Amino acid sequence: MSDIDRIFIKDLRLRCIIGIREWERKTLQNVVINLTLSVDLAKAGQSDDIDDTVNYKTLCKRIISMTEASHFFLVEALAEKIAQIALEDERIHAVEVQVEKPGALRFADSVGVIIERKRAE
């Protein structure tokens, strides 16, 4: 695998139940998700065939479905679940997941986490 091949999904804006306060458990909250997938893209680059790469539309639909139905307390837990979903595709060797919760802190545009997970050897 090349260490520089990446697929990214930028600023996926979703709404879900997330947070520890009582009102957050009842009200949809905005989240912004960014993903960077480590994938060997050489074969797809040569074949020009979707079957030789990660179908990021399919992956995105799975993440949207899970996120919109979720009820996590922490953005850390949401990020972990997103990483697990990404790594279910054997072509993805590693994933970086960034989850932000805009407006979570007074005077800050956003707060969030970045995690990196690799496929177990």
Could you give the residue numbers annotated as active site? 101
Closest CA to 96 of 52, 33, 43: 33
95, 87 contact by CB (below 8 A): yes
Collapse the DSSP code of 78 into the 3-class scheme (helix H, G, I; strand E, B; otherwise coil) and give the result. Answer: helix
| b/e map 10-40, b = 16+ CB within 10 Å | eebebebbbbeeeeeeeeebebbbbbbbbbb
